[in-house]
Chains A and B, each alone.
Chain A
């Protein structure tokens, strides 16, 4: 995402930068319940779950826990809101766009509050939340706000005496299940195209990070979306998530998370009602650094790619292939640069690296780091947790990593960069593609032929050339192979949220064309 969305227009560019945004004091979390029909509900079973600040280990608050019965309620509301003749279905497409713009305006108004909540709940640095997550969320909403009245069908010159045209209609009730690494951004990636196309939504935020999603519930109501159009069910995967995936009255499910759970979702969809499925899953993303590249740039981008969001990104640059002549220098520069990373309180403006999300993830990462050491990779730096500090892990770099090692094959989802050596272009393409994943990839080179041929050869949904994590609302995003099904963002995402209806009319006489 762009680093700074605060530039209002070109005139401001030469003026003094505004003061850094500050976290907001949040005395009490206002929205902790289940959001159905624009109202707040307690869970039917009466259960709650705590959400924890990963930087301190302290409970922030209890949240009403949605389960199957609550999902049923939400689906009923969503179905009623989306039925023929409802306010939502009769609304002009351009008016749906106005509502999405209004929601974006409200996010802008609440930007500091939302960034604070996001930072508290995920542990990501406040300034990252403010400039990356919020900026991306607002831009995604505005982008899809513009699409609402531009979702064109076509007319087709069919054979013989027929008139044929298509309408792109909403799919219906869309279930969405989102992860904890970018709670707000993933929320918008799901709801913005779904609502732009005229669907209704039942969305489950991750149990680790429900706070910003629920805050958005209040903004959805304030923006003026009709009741039932968007419903938020905080809860756990095996209960609320499974209820969504296997629900007979949900027409489509979109999931972002692990490949393992993605397979469960797709199986549940098939076993229930063949609901449409889009999946954005894991990655083990190769970065290929050629000797002719701008090495400083390559070191910076690959390192940011590996450590951004504490490595908790499906796009994490976790396999870095460096051409032999520059390998040693690359490792050296990477290790030097890692020393500048500031670990600390996410709400402090200097902090660039926060804690992992929870104990489970923390343990899993350290276990994989251990395996790397055992399997013979060279630990260049990091490799352990901060002493006496909860869930913080030092940024970790391994060199001499071999393709067969676990750290080279499994998604670590932590701040661990694996650096491999390669000799030829053919070899590195084979090795880069030798993975079940195919989400993103990057190539660093000054040679245009190499950039074009390598980017064409890589099996990945996104290839970055001389950059990393350059994600935009306008560009499609999604995975080859077991990194996912379908695409989010861009015009492409609209196809995932519409059914195409072909209407063919028999005409009685040949049309004079």
Chain B
């Protein structure tokens, strides 16, 4: 199948829910899901925007508007911060609550998300364009597991006692930071909500969270579940809106103690700068990547081709972890390219509700044109376009799976984050060379190495400048493992025990103690 034959299956598009129901094997989307929540969530109540403004959210598979959403701006952020501050004040219900009770509330939240999985997955697919089955099995599972994982931590956030010199005794308490601002992207709206809320609430903070303007719907639904679970008012506040207005208000707010951002490196720098200029709020950033994937000639070839393919095309390439620089050892280079192209051509495009479609549309027309522009630069700079490269005729924002071979490190497609279904395949000869080339980037989020040789695996994984290295796998993320970037891919780590550190202040309490005993 050449790229020109990529098409959307009409019959599937017409009645996807009926088709999936007829299969009986897989979970089914909720037909015509009702959009219940489109307002600003503050103090466990729904508010219209102070300015009276609304914005529209679109179905990227059809380009049609789904609904209008209340648009939060600075004044709404102020209201939310006030609510969050008061929920965090000393003696509040939230501050007096047993840590284990915070854990129970998070468990309850996970149970509610699980109860409403089919609905939430439908909504997520509608708003982002990602295939329903991906939403259901990847995004929803990740969301539920993250809430449960951090629920378990709530009463296990240990301080320590320290045998300091002299007639003193010291102990530490890991206390919540306070009001946490959180700004999340549109590529994994639910999972990112959980990555942010899970550790923040587990540690006892209160939250003002802004979902991306492209994808506010599932995050607002989570707000309703937060209320149903029984979190006290003001602990979680959700403000749909834009980066330059609501986002900027969060980053520079004097009443916010910490900001966590996931998104582009460019915006990440603005956030950190705003934090510096305002109140030195703590900052964690999960930003872009240009993650190298190194394939040695001794690797399990089938596995490497498939994982490299999934690593870059998963979620239509809209992943900060996308394995977008594939370095293949010379002896297997040609065969690897041939097989990768074959695989990309087999990749099926279609409606998010077509269970046979592996790939949905890009999130917006704007994102799609950005990707197309980069594809054009690749062609211009002399990379070999093996397949794809175009947008198929459709009202939605679809893009063909695209593979470039003979990519050189200096080309824009080898250096810039594309955030689209575009695979770059490069050639290398020696291990030293490939390590150097893989590290020669401002990014350092993820990396992978495929080899059956233990020494190669360990040497390369140790040498790579990346927050996560996968060996013979890709995108093997789990809530138990820390995740974050070296260099300009971010500051700090999310998930795992180490993720708790970003949401606590350590207090050292030292008391004078006469007659000390070891």
Q: Compute how far the CA of A456 lies from the CA of B517 in the bound complex, rounded to whole angstroms.
A: 6
B515 contact from A93, A101, A453, A474, Cβ within 8 A: A453
Confirm or deny: B24 has a beta carbon within 8 angstroms of a beta carbon on chain A. Answer: no
Contacts of B497 in A (CB 8 A): 150, 152
A99 to B301, CA, bound (A): 38
- Would you call A158 an interface residue if the criterion is a C-beta within 8 Å of the partner chain's C-beta atoms? no
Give the nearest-CB partner of B154 in chain A.
A146
A255 at the B interface (CB under 8 A): no
A491 — which chain B residues lie within 8 A by C-beta? 156, 158
Which of A163, A452, A474 lies in contact with B458, CB distance below 8 A? Answer: A163
A11 contacts partner chain B, Cβ-Cβ < 8 Å? yes
Task: Check: B463 CB closer than 8 A to any chain A CB.
Answer: yes
Q: Which 9 A-B pairs have the closest CB atoms?
A: A146-B152, A10-B93, A9-B230, A511-B462, A508-B455, A512-B463, A456-B517, A453-B515, A452-B513
The answer to whether B514 has its CB under 8 Å from any CB of chain A is yes
Do the beta carbons of A150 and B152 come within 8 Å of each other?
A: yes
A139 at interface, CB cutoff 8 A: yes
- Asked if residues B458 and A505 are in contact (CB atoms below 8 Å), the reply is yes
A430: min CB distance to chain B, Å: 14
14 contacts between A and B (CB under 8 A): A9-B105, A10-B232, A11-B230, A94-B480, A146-B151, A150-B480, A163-B458, A448-B511, A456-B517, A457-B517, A474-B99, A507-B454, A511-B458, A513-B462
Say whether A358 faces chain B, with CB atoms less than 8 Å apart: no
Return chain A residues, CB-CB under 8 Å to B98.
Answer: 2
Main secondary structure on chain B at its contact with chain A? helix
Q: Which of A119-170 contact B (CB under 8 A)?
A: 139, 142-143, 145-150, 152, 163
Q: Is the CB of B103 within 8 A of A456?
A: no
Within 8 Å of chain B (Cβ to Cβ): is A509?
yes
Q: How far is the CB of A96 from chain B (nearest CB, A)?
A: 12
Whole-angstrom CA separation of A13 from B230 in the bound complex: 13
Complex CA gap A101/B144 in Å reads 14
A11 touches which of B149, B151, B232 (Cβ 8 Å): B232
Q: Does A9 contact B459, Cβ atoms closer than 8 Å?
A: no
Separation of A508 and B101 alpha carbons in the complex (Å): 50
Closest to A148 in B: B152
Q: Tell me the residues in window 82-114 of chain A with beta carbons closer than 8 Å to chain B beta carbons.
A: 93-94, 97-98, 101
Task: Assess the A97–B148 pair: CB atoms within 8 A.
Answer: yes
Q: How far is the CB of B84 from chain A (nearest CB, A)?
A: 15
From 481 to 511 in chain A, residues with beta carbon under 8 angstroms from any chain B beta carbon are: 491, 505, 507-509, 511
CB-based contact B103/A146 at 8 Å: yes
Interface size on A, residues (CB 8 A): 39
A94: chain B residues within 8 A (beta carbon): 145, 148-149, 480
Q: In the bound complex, how far is the Cα of B455 from the Cα of A512, in angstroms?
A: 12
Q: Is residue A8 within 8 Å, beta carbon to beta carbon, of the partner chain? A: yes
Q: Is B336 an interface residue (CB 8 A)?
A: no
Other than the given A456-B516, A507-B455, 6 more pairs (CB < 8 A) read A7-B101, A10-B93, A149-B152, A163-B458, A448-B511, A505-B458
A457: B residues at CB distance < 8 A = 515, 517
Please pick, from B105, B145, B156, the residue contacting A150 in the complex, using a CB distance under 8 A.
B156
A94 closest partner in B (C-beta): B145
A424 within 8 A of B: no
Of residues A9, A152, A163, which shows the largest number of chain B Cβ atoms within 10 Å of its Cβ?
A9
Indicate if A296 sits at the interface (CB-CB under 8 A).
no
Residues of A with C-beta under 8 A to B477:
none
Asked if B507 is at the interface (CB within 8 A of a chain A CB), the reply is no
Q: 8 Å CB contacts to A: which residues of B460-501?
A: 462-463, 480, 497
Which residues of B have CB within 8 Å of A453? 513-517
Minimum distance in angstroms from A12 CB to a CB of chain B: 9
Residues B458 and A145 in contact, CB atoms below 8 Å apart:
no
Contact B462 A150 (CB under 8 A): no
Chain B residues within 8 Å of A473, by CB: 100, 155
Cross-chain contact A449 with B458 (CB below 8 angstroms): no
Residue of A with least CB distance to B229: A9
Chain B residues near A149 (CB-CB < 8 A):
149, 152, 480
Verify A10–B96 contact, CB threshold 8 A: yes
Instruction: Please determine whether B514 and A10 come into contact, CB atoms closer than 8 angstroms.
Output: no
**Chain A 444-456 interface mask (CB, 8 Å, partner B; 1/0):** 0000110011001
Bound state CA distance, A139 and B513, in angstroms? 35
Residues of B within 8 A of A143 (CB): 100, 155
Question: In whole angstroms, what is the CA distance A449 to B516 when docked?
Answer: 10
Q: In the bound complex, do residue B97 and residue A10 qualify as a contact, i.e. CB atoms below 8 Å apart? A: yes
Q: Which residue of A lies closest to B145 (CB)?
A: A94
Cα A146 to Cα B202 with chains together (Å)? 12
Instruction: Please provide the chain A residues from 458 to 477 with a CB less than 8 Å away from any CB of chain B in the complex.
Output: 473-474
B136 interface contact, C-beta 8 A = no
Partner of B462, one of A8, A11, A474, A512: A512
Nearest Cβ on chain A to B99's Cβ, whole angstroms: 8
Interfacial chain B residues near A150, Cβ < 8 Å: 152-153, 156, 480, 497
B443 at the interface (CB under 8 A from A): no
Contact B230 A8 (CB under 8 A): yes
Closest chain A residue to B107 by CB distance? A101
Q: Which residues of B contact A8 (CB under 8 A)?
A: 104, 230
